Amino acid sequence: MPRRVDARDVLDADATTRRSLSGRVVGVYRRQGPNSWDDYVLVDEDGGRIEVLAETPIQVEERGATFRMRRRGEVVRVAWTPDDGGPEEGADLRARFLESCVRDLDPTPEGNLAVWLHGELDKKPEAND
Protein backbone atom coordinates (compact mmCIF):
# COMPACT_ATOMS: atom_id res chain seq x y z
CA MET A 1 0.00 0.00 0.00
CA PRO A 2 1.45 3.41 -0.94
CA ARG A 3 2.40 5.68 1.94
CA ARG A 4 0.78 9.01 1.07
CA VAL A 5 1.99 12.25 2.64
CA ASP A 6 0.35 15.67 2.52
CA ALA A 7 2.42 18.13 0.45
CA ARG A 8 2.81 20.37 3.51
CA ASP A 9 4.32 17.52 5.51
CA VAL A 10 6.65 15.85 3.02
CA LEU A 11 9.65 17.53 4.65
CA ASP A 12 9.29 19.20 8.04
CA ALA A 13 12.94 19.45 9.06
CA ASP A 14 13.14 18.88 12.80
CA ALA A 15 16.91 18.53 13.14
CA THR A 16 20.27 19.05 11.48
CA THR A 17 23.16 16.68 11.02
CA ARG A 18 25.88 16.99 13.66
CA ARG A 19 28.60 15.82 11.30
CA SER A 20 29.13 14.50 7.80
CA LEU A 21 27.79 10.99 7.41
CA SER A 22 27.25 8.23 4.89
CA GLY A 23 23.92 6.68 4.04
CA ARG A 24 21.93 4.87 1.42
CA VAL A 25 18.93 6.34 -0.38
CA VAL A 26 16.07 3.89 0.26
CA GLY A 27 13.15 5.86 -1.15
CA VAL A 28 11.99 9.02 -2.84
CA TYR A 29 8.79 11.02 -2.40
CA ARG A 30 6.98 11.55 -5.71
CA ARG A 31 4.15 14.03 -6.28
CA GLN A 32 0.87 12.34 -7.27
CA GLY A 33 -0.36 15.15 -9.50
CA PRO A 34 0.76 18.22 -11.41
CA ASN A 35 0.03 20.76 -8.66
CA SER A 36 2.35 21.77 -5.84
CA TRP A 37 -0.37 20.96 -3.29
CA ASP A 38 -0.93 17.38 -4.51
CA ASP A 39 -0.07 14.59 -2.08
CA TYR A 40 3.23 12.77 -2.27
CA VAL A 41 3.79 9.04 -2.07
CA LEU A 42 6.93 7.27 -0.85
CA VAL A 43 8.38 5.07 -3.57
CA ASP A 44 10.88 2.49 -2.33
CA GLU A 45 14.01 2.83 -4.39
CA ASP A 46 17.65 1.85 -4.11
CA GLY A 47 19.21 5.20 -4.91
CA GLY A 48 22.71 4.16 -3.94
CA ARG A 49 25.13 5.66 -1.47
CA ILE A 50 24.99 9.30 -0.45
CA GLU A 51 27.29 11.55 1.54
CA VAL A 52 25.42 14.01 3.76
CA LEU A 53 27.22 17.16 4.91
CA ALA A 54 27.24 18.49 8.46
CA GLU A 55 24.47 20.99 9.29
CA THR A 56 22.10 19.57 6.66
CA PRO A 57 18.42 20.06 7.62
CA ILE A 58 16.73 16.67 8.04
CA GLN A 59 13.50 15.15 9.29
CA VAL A 60 14.20 12.19 11.56
CA GLU A 61 11.84 9.27 10.94
CA GLU A 62 9.96 7.63 13.81
CA ARG A 63 11.79 4.31 13.57
CA GLY A 64 15.26 3.15 12.74
CA ALA A 65 18.23 5.24 11.70
CA THR A 66 16.43 6.85 8.78
CA PHE A 67 15.67 10.43 7.86
CA ARG A 68 14.32 12.62 5.07
CA MET A 69 16.29 15.32 3.32
CA ARG A 70 16.16 17.40 0.17
CA ARG A 71 18.47 16.41 -2.70
CA ARG A 72 18.43 17.95 -6.16
CA GLY A 73 14.86 19.20 -5.79
CA GLU A 74 13.55 15.88 -4.45
CA VAL A 75 12.80 14.68 -0.95
CA VAL A 76 14.61 11.40 -0.35
CA ARG A 77 14.56 8.91 2.49
CA VAL A 78 18.03 7.93 3.68
CA ALA A 79 19.16 5.05 5.90
CA TRP A 80 22.31 5.82 7.90
CA THR A 81 25.30 3.57 7.29
CA PRO A 82 27.53 3.41 10.40
CA ASP A 83 31.20 4.18 9.78
CA ASP A 84 32.41 1.84 12.51
CA GLY A 85 31.11 -1.33 10.91
CA GLY A 86 28.73 -2.01 13.80
CA PRO A 87 25.32 -3.65 13.37
CA GLU A 88 23.14 -1.98 10.78
CA GLU A 89 19.79 -2.69 12.42
CA GLY A 90 18.02 -2.64 15.77
CA ALA A 91 17.24 -0.20 18.56
CA ASP A 92 20.93 0.27 19.34
CA LEU A 93 21.49 1.57 15.82
CA ARG A 94 18.83 4.27 16.25
CA ALA A 95 20.29 5.37 19.58
CA ARG A 96 23.80 5.55 18.06
CA PHE A 97 22.44 7.49 15.08
CA LEU A 98 20.65 10.06 17.24
CA GLU A 99 23.65 10.48 19.54
CA SER A 100 26.41 10.72 16.96
CA CYS A 101 24.74 12.22 13.87
CA VAL A 102 21.77 14.39 14.91
CA ARG A 103 21.91 17.90 16.33
CA ASP A 104 18.98 20.06 17.40
CA LEU A 105 16.37 17.35 17.44
CA ASP A 106 13.19 19.47 17.52
CA PRO A 107 14.74 22.93 17.30
CA THR A 108 11.31 24.33 18.21
CA PRO A 109 10.84 22.99 21.75
CA GLU A 110 7.46 24.67 22.05
CA GLY A 111 6.40 23.21 18.72
CA ASN A 112 6.00 26.71 17.33
CA LEU A 113 8.51 28.07 14.82
CA ALA A 114 7.53 31.68 15.50
CA VAL A 115 8.23 31.26 19.22
CA TRP A 116 11.58 29.69 18.45
CA LEU A 117 12.58 32.47 16.06
CA HIS A 118 11.19 35.48 17.92
CA GLY A 119 10.80 34.46 21.54
CA GLU A 120 7.53 34.42 23.41
CA LEU A 121 4.86 36.14 21.37
CA ASP A 122 2.51 36.92 24.21
CA LYS A 123 4.98 39.03 26.20
CA LYS A 124 3.92 42.61 26.56
CA PRO A 125 6.56 45.31 26.21
CA GLU A 126 7.54 46.90 29.48
CA ALA A 127 6.37 50.46 29.95
CA ASN A 128 9.04 53.09 30.35
CA ASP A 129 8.22 55.05 33.50
pLDDT digits (tens, 9 = 90+) for 45-94: 898 999 999 999 999 998 899 999 999 889 999 999 998 765 556 668 99
12 pLDDT tier (thresholds 50, 70, 90): confident
Mean pLDDT, residues 22-47 taken together: 90
Average pLDDT, the chain: 81
Is the pLDDT reported for residue 122 higher than 60? no
1 Cβ contact list (under 8 Å, min separation 6): none
**pLDDT value, residue 30:** 92
Q: CA-CA distance, 89 to 97, in Å (whole number)?
A: 11
CA 24 from centroid of its chain's CA atoms: 14
Selected residue with higher pLDDT from 107 and 31: 31
What are the phi and psi torsion angles at 80 (to 5°)? -65, 140
Task: Give the HSE-up count for residue 94: Cα atoms under 13 Å, Cβ half-sphere.
Answer: 9
Percent of the chain with pLDDT over 70: 73
129 pLDDT tier (thresholds 50, 70, 90): very low
Global pTM value: 0.74
52 Cβ contact list (under 8 Å, min separation 6): 17, 20, 21, 22, 23, 58, 69, 78
Domain boundaries, the chain: 3-118
Q: CA-CA distance, 78 to 48, in Å (whole number)?
A: 10
Q: CA-CA distance, 17 to 104, in Å (whole number)?
A: 8
